[in-house]
Amino acid sequence: MCGIIGYVGQRPCRDILFRGLRKLEYRGYDSAGISIVTDGRFQLLHSVGNLDNLEAILEQLDDGGTLGIAHTRWATHGRPSTENAHPHTDCTGRFAIVLNGIVENYLSLRAMLKGEGHTFTSETDAEVVAHLIERAYRGSLQKAVAEAYQQMEGHFTYCAVAVDEPDVMVGMRRETPLVVGLGQGENFLASAVPAFLAETRAVIFPEDGDVVVVRRDGVQIFALDGASVERAVQRVDWDEEAAEKAGYETFMLKEIHEQPAALADTLAERISPEGGVVLEGLGLGPEDIRGLRRVVIVACGTSYHAGLVGSHALERWARLPAEVEVASEFRYRDPVLGPDCLCVAISQSGETADTLAAMRLARKAGARVLAVTNIVGSQATREADGVLFTRAGLEIGVAATKTFLSQVLAMLLLALHLGEERGVLSGEEVQTYTEGLRRIPALLSDYLEGAEPARVEEAARRYSTSRFFMCLGRRVGLPVALEGALKLKEISYIPTEAYAAGEMKHGPIALLEKGSPVLVVATDGPVYDKLISNVQEVIARGARVIAVASEGNEALAEMADEIFYVPRTEEMFAPLLAIVPLQLFAYYVATARGEKVDQPRNLAKTVTVE
């Protein structure tokens, strides 16, 4: 969690750093700060709350310095306050640092440093880094940063500057992201590429333990023992426009409308002219695939819901037993796995701490690990045996939308691929499915441009004062209901239960009273009739039914209070369409209530802490 950016160059850096922070605000926004080196000292500025508060006082920094670091925080150790906001400095005021992640042994380090006479001004784990550097400094920031690194346990990225070396910043990472941006006569360090995308597209992704020494005229990378290390320079092709709202009122709404493109990009080059599924980089040969006996899917939040859809597809198309487990639970189990088990870790960021830990556990227990992620160069891609990229593009809204659809699609493609390789599906069957999949982006695009979204908006505004929602579904409709409920919870803050419709009568139906709004995912499928019986049970309790149904389903329109139609498709593809009215419903309920949907309270886009 947290976003960091550092600049060294020839231009005054205050505003460059602030603009970089704006692009990283999705990583956390409970406090922020900037430190700039001018005239042999640090100018420091801290604020509590989101970046508007820092912007309001930015003029307090004189804009002369050309070396600086900045941070936007998501609190882990220590409440959001100016004292706990980064950058942190040492006792002498000669070193400043920003950190993302957690220093797990900070209590023992703090005790040791206090014993030696260091004084602390914050409650954070991060502050120990400044003091460790102070303690280790003997004329070389590079060496002091490397020495501090070796004393720390945990997963973190940090960037340090020293007043005595006003032309250099040094960054290091362990299991959390750090990228270098290479400019002309200026260079950047950051948690993520968007921070400096307006300035340069040439980037380096350092490895864990690399000591990255950044000066205005060049970047050198060293191993911990001081040996020089070469890392490739890559070009990123995102344009800056992609990181802006492109005319939509929020990133979330923009990203909902980008879903057809996200699906088309995720499909691109993955369907052969003959209609087969082509997936490169899985790290699984035909023999490995035939030898698989089981799939375990690990993920968190929205990615977990994509995994649930994937498990249905893997069972149906590849005849592989597929379990799905939330990564934060799986990581503390003692799972029975082996080389015939494939662990699929789904994470849009590729940086979620629990998912990474689950991957490591699965690998240790002997399973092969496949990462399904949206971020090239993310930690998950470095640790997995194979990677299946979703190609949703950058997602900035904290509530996942287009990455969910891309994850579901990636899992469907994986299931089809494994099904064909294992001889469960014939080439013709796969072709029929891929033809269907190819049509989905256009169907979704027509849907989003049609009249339905406005109907959803109108209904959402009417229901926006509800105190409670229930979401129901069965088979692949259940993950859709769970995901719709998560959207409502995280952006509208309205308590929402999601349940397997058949399970209602075992308890949750007691929650319903006259007028309770119940969202039902009722697209066509083999248990549609059973679901309708559940709908009747709900209606009998006086609840109001808001149904998502396949277009043309007039019988359900008679029964339901509201009906949102989506195009009719093969059951397994339905989640790609049925979730969209629920995303829009949650969106418009939240905006009608005046909530800031791109930055829901207490949440962050990338969860790099346990």
Binding residues for ligand F6R (CB under 6 A): 300-303, 347-349, 352, 355, 399-400, 486, 490, 607
Q: Output the residue with the shortest Cβ distance to ligand F6R.
A: 301
The minimum distance between CB 373 and ligand F6R, in angstroms, equals 8
Catalytic residue among 23, 254, 489, 605: 605
* CB of 84 or CB of 303, closer to ligand F6R: 303
Catalytic residue among 2, 159, 300, 471: 2
Rounded to 5°, the CA angle 380-607-343 comes to 35
The minimum distance between CB 401 and ligand F6R, in angstroms, equals 8
Kind plus residue range of the DSSP H or E element containing 294: strand 294-299
The minimum distance between CB 299 and ligand F6R, in angstroms, equals 6
User: Got the DSSP string for 32-88?
Assistant: EEEEEEETTEEEEEEEESSHHHHHHHGGGS-TT-SEEEEEEE--SSS-SSTTTSSPE
Read off the tokens for 584: 């829009």
Q: What whole-number distance in Å separates Cα of residue 193 and Cα of residue 197?
A: 6
Task: Output helix, strand, coil percentages for the chain, rounded to the nearest 5.
Answer: 40, 25, 35
Q: What's the burial of 336, exposed, middle or buried (CB within 10 Å: 0-12/13-18/19+)?
A: exposed
Nearest to 372 by CA among 295, 258, 320, 269: 295
With H, G, I as helix, E, B as strand and everything else as coil, classify residue 368: strand
* CB of 45 or CB of 394, closer to ligand F6R: 394
* CB of 31 or CB of 349, closer to ligand F6R: 349
The minimum distance between CB 298 and ligand F6R, in angstroms, equals 10
* CB of 483 or CB of 571, closer to ligand F6R: 483
The minimum distance between CB 280 and ligand F6R, in angstroms, equals 22
Read off the tokens for 355: 């998912």
For residues 78 and 127, the answer to whether their CB atoms sit within 8 Å is no
The minimum distance between CB 254 and ligand F6R, in angstroms, equals 15
Tell me, yes or no, if 605 is annotated catalytic: yes
3-state helix/strand/coil string of 301-363: HHHHHHHHHHHHHHHHHHCCCEEEEEHHHHCCCCCCCCCCEEEEEEECCCCCHHHHHHHHHHH
The minimum distance between CB 605 and ligand F6R, in angstroms, equals 7
* CB of 13 or CB of 597, closer to ligand F6R: 597
Read off the tokens for 445: 């695009």
The minimum distance between CB 481 and ligand F6R, in angstroms, equals 15
Number of neighbouring beta carbons within 10 Å of residue 270: 21
Number of neighbouring beta carbons within 10 Å of residue 143: 17
Q: What whole-number distance in Å separates Cα of residue 246 and Cα of residue 389?
A: 24
Helix 427-449 vs helix 452-463: angle between axes, to the nearest 10 degrees? Answer: 70
* CB of 187 or CB of 355, closer to ligand F6R: 355
Tell me, yes or no, if 143 is annotated catalytic: no
Q: What whole-number distance in Å separates Cα of residue 564 and Cα of residue 549?
A: 6
* CB of 485 or CB of 486, closer to ligand F6R: 486
The set of residues, in sequence order, having a beta carbon less than 8 Å from that of 392 and lying 6+ positions away, is 258, 262, 265, 266, 348, 374, 402, 403, 405, 406
Q: Biggest alpha carbon distance in the chain?
A: 79
* CB of 413 or CB of 531, closer to ligand F6R: 413
Number of neighbouring beta carbons within 10 Å of residue 277: 24
3-state helix/strand/coil string of 149-208: HHHCCEEEEEEEEECCCCCEEEEEEECCCCEEEECCCCEEEECCHHHHCCCCCEEECCCC
The minimum distance between CB 222 and ligand F6R, in angstroms, equals 31
* CB of 499 or CB of 587, closer to ligand F6R: 587
Helix 427-449 vs helix 259-267: angle between axes, to the nearest 10 degrees? Answer: 160
Q: Which residues are catalytic?
A: 2, 605
